[in-house]
Amino acid sequence: MEEAYEVPTYLNYIDGRWVSSDGGGLLESLNPATGEIVAKAQCSTKSDVDAAVEAARRAFDDYVWQGKRPHERAHVLRRIAELLRQNVEPLSVLLTKENGKPLADARGEILNAANVFDYYAAIARHIVGRIPRYGDTDVSLVVYEPVGVCGLIVPWNSPISLLSWKLGAALAAGCTAVIKPSEYTPAITMEFVRLLDSIKELPKGVVNVVTGPGEPVGSELVKHPLVDKISFTGSTETGRRIMEMASVNLKRINLECGGKSANIVLDDANFDQAVKGAFWGIFRSAGQSCNAGSRLLVQASIYDKFLDALVDMAKRVRVGNGLDPDTEIGPLISEKHLNRVMGYIKSGIEEGATLVHGGRRLVEGELAKGFFVEPTIFKDVTREMKIFQEEIFGPVLCVIPFHDDQEAIDIANDTKYGLAGNIWSRNIFRIMRIARALRTGTIWVNRHLNPGPEVPFGGYKQSGIGRETGMEGLMEYLEVKHISLNLKEEFERVRR
């Protein structure tokens, strides 16, 4: 008889110790492909958040981390990268079980996170100020200091990659942190924290983790008077609430929120390259990405041919359990989210868009217990429709024709979001004109997604505040201090 699988239960990590929640409750993490329980984690309370923040505050105020030399902080960051690479296989399998993404994508996420920590290890040694000079006897020092205690609120869609953006920069700057992972992906976060716990050079209290839902864990972290900064990735609606709560004591905030990115294909693009890029720009991770190219703008002269090619790809793509090596698109994260996405598909049909492919929940065979939705493609989409204007966060694509470059710009900018976008063309002059006119934080040209952590990522308009990764991402965790020295007396004494 086959032995029953023992579901692991994870504790909070506070001040270098694994501790149960004060409330004693547990939350369950489910495999979205099978509905099975992957793990249990603490359903934390306000007192748990208080304990984690107080530990981070002590560690910061006692200089156990910010007082270390830059090369010592860099060593710890490099060690984190090494441990991620050494454990890529078990971490990837767990990430796929908990999040649903294909195993190859999960491996890519873990390795990407390792690259991010390596990057911040390098620039941790290059946080330097400057000395403006105003005269013989006046000297000004401009110095950079860590912000303090940082609350890092991480989503479920790329839980380790996005955590690396926040934690890498925070540790490089000399900050301490309290991490709040999504309630959908606590296990992969806590396994990552096990790696941190094994690094003896990382002092207790520098990194702390409390698990649980946004209420009360996230809100108590945001409101806490001893927290100096909040970095959040998630929906624009939640970002607004965080902004309001953080205003009580004027916390520093980073908000990386929603997107409705435009993928613009000009008539001189490499056709096959653009079709593949546009397809995976929306359907990778089942569309559960803030930077997904959910609005596809195709020049009218190639529109019909391009749409046919997309539908052909959608018919051939493999949707299934991410642990199956043949799977290309995995499930949505939960039944609640699946119902939300299906609601948008219904809305598109009711508002008059034409469904050219997909639109169904997949329940055949081994997919019956999971949260799978077909790659869905709409045409005849107008600007006032919900599927054009609102972030769906699922495998739903709107394909819209345009006639000239200015019309493409107008359609692309007609949204409250401004996170990312793509341009596919061989003409550098058209590319640059359109790129400069788009009100969005990132433009990818003849590609999709960032080449590495060296560049900043963040949005215009209601897609957020601030930047992550790159030197700009590091600066979000640093305060700027000006020290003005009047050395007149000393100079005159030396002259005498």
Residue numbers annotated as active site: 256, 290
Q: How many helices (H) and strands (E) does the chain have?
A: 16, 24
Angstrom distance (rounded) from CA 193 to CA 170 = 15
* 8 A C-beta contact, residue 149 and residue 120: no
d(C-alpha 271, C-alpha 190), whole Å: 44
Ramachandran sector of residue 484 (left: φ over 0; alpha: ψ -120 to 50; beta: rest): beta
β-pairing, 12-14 with 17-19? antiparallel
Taking the C-alpha atoms of residue 385 and residue 407, their distance in angstroms, rounded to an integer, is 18
The owner of tokens 């004109």 is 433
Strands of 314-466 (E only): list them.
354-357, 361-362, 372-373, 376-379, 396-402, 417-418, 420-424, 442-445, 460-461, 464-465
Whether 153 contacts 212, CB under 8 Å: no
In b/e form, how buried is each residue of 240-265, taking b as 16+ CB within 10 angstroms? eebbebbeeeebbbbbbbbbbbbbbb
Q: Which amino acid is at 46?
A: K
Inter-residue contact 29 to 98 (CB < 8 Å): yes
Q: Give residues with Cβ within 8 angstroms of 478, minimum separation 6.
A: 127, 144, 145, 146, 147, 173
- Strand ranges across the sheet with 229-233: 17-19, 12-14, 207-209, 176-180, 149-153, 229-233, 252-256, 464-465
Q: Of 254, 255, 252, which Cα lies nearest the Cα of 228? A: 252
For 132, how many CA atoms within 13 A lie in the half-sphere containing its CB? 8
Q: Which amino acid is at 456?
A: P
333: nearest Cα among 28, 104, 99, 103: 99
Give the C-alpha distances (Å, rounded to integers) separating 240 from 234, 247, 418, 464.
11, 11, 16, 9
The burial class, CB within 10 Å (0-12 / 13-18 / 19+), for 376 is: buried
CA distances from 257 to 75, 88, 235, 240, 241 (A): 32, 28, 5, 9, 12
